[in-house]
Amino acid sequence: MLSAQSQELKEKILNKTAKVSVIGLGYVGLPLAVEIGKAGLSVIGIDVDKEKVNKINSKNSYIPDVAEEELSRLVSEKKLVATSDCKVLKKVDIVSICVPTPLRKTREPDISYIIAAVSEVSKYLHQGQLIILESTSFPGTTKDIILPELEKRDLRVGKDFFLAFSPERVDPGNKEYTIKNTPKVVGGITPECTEIAKIFYEQIVEKVVLVASTREAEMVKLLENTFRSVNIALANELALMCDRLGINIWNVIEAAATKPFGFMPFYPGPGLGGHCIPIDPVYLSWKAKTYGFYSKFIEFAEEVNKNMPSHVVRKITHALNIHKKSINGSKILILGVAYKKDVGDTRESPALDIIEILSRQEAEIIYNDPHVPQVNIGEGKWESLPLNENLLSQADCVVITTAHSSYDYKWIVGNAKVVVDTRNATKNLSNKEKIIKI
């Protein structure tokens, strides 16, 4: 049976009078805020980046997954507003924390953004408020770090306020699976925390999956991305092996994928990128070490995946050697610097590592990416150049690092001297003499 505080919040959620705040308006926070608004609840987005705040209030979307028409409608209807002032937390019923959780240079978790957000939430915490962490972090973050900070207000969790963890599952650029139709995992500090968080998410998503605790919910997210990291590492290692054996790894995977049971295809590539797969397993292995447990699979997978950009550079060297050229002084065209197709996100993108290695070897780097107008790597700065026949013919080697849907690969290969393909984007083309795959 729900307490008086949670019963009151439940009624507010069900009759759509509950006010929600989303802290962090990036690839996770803004799509979530929009989905909450579409469900009929009022949302106040909070971000320290005033440029993002101004764009939202001006009805301009800066996230590809958020349609400008939907954003504009919600802002016009006053269902969504953005601010940098955390004082608005005084008047909201539900707070969702969606801030970044990167790695430090030492490869240790950096939860400073979570701590900063929770510090602000703690200042304005009041009875009947539900706090949810969506930012990925190691098991124990919600209970061991967030809860003690919130309890400084002399309010009791599960009675006076409610605390839960629900891992974000945003896949930028995915048109099939969105926040709405992707099941939401929820775990609360107490059963009542779990129940009230479940009621909230049921207004937004089609299916809510409950787990026994915040620690289990935190582990779910890390398992999902560690699973991908390890299996991609296996595909990458097999690609290196098949390269030595003279076997086409892409054909092997395609044939293996015809088995209707016991096999799931993963594909090699130039390395891992994005805000999840290269980072989340490190959070897990770091936490495990504090308990005296060393995860060999995770650390070996990270090593394999981080070495793929160097393997790509070796392939580029081979491609240039065919034309009696060296990397030094060669003009190399990089196609795609985003970490995955059809998005503008360059976080942890292996293309940046490839560019950095080639630059150190005195190559002349040019690039095209329809979603990334410019990129900075160390002291170097590059701008995306228009992709045309002249640009392709100038390049001594073209490297496909991101397989954007807008690229015409038949035309690209037809106008290029030699192509290094890291994504199997040219699999259906006949002129294989020009194409070198990883």
- Inter-residue contact 429 to 410 (CB < 8 Å): yes
Cα–Cα distance between 33 and 96 in angstroms, integer? Answer: 9
For tokens 């990334």, what's the residue? 372
User: What is the sign of the dihedral through the CA atoms of 300, 304, 307 and 309?
Assistant: negative
* Angle of CA points 138, 144, 150, to nearest 5°: 120
Nearest to 218 by CA among 190, 191, 252, 189: 189
DSSP string covering 79-98: SEEEES-GGGGGG-SEEEE-
For residue 290, give the 3-state DSSP assignment.
coil
- Provide the token pair at 119: 């510090």
Cα–Cα distance between 143 and 317 in angstroms, integer? Answer: 51
Active site residue 276: yes
- Inter-residue contact 114 to 95 (CB < 8 Å): no
Rg (CA), the chain: 24
Cα–Cα distance between 164 and 21 in angstroms, integer? Answer: 15
Catalytic residue among 98, 242, 276, 397: 276
The dihedrals phi and psi of 55, each to the nearest 5 degrees, come to -65, -45
Helices (H) and strands (E) in the chain, counts: 15, 15
Catalytic positions are: 276
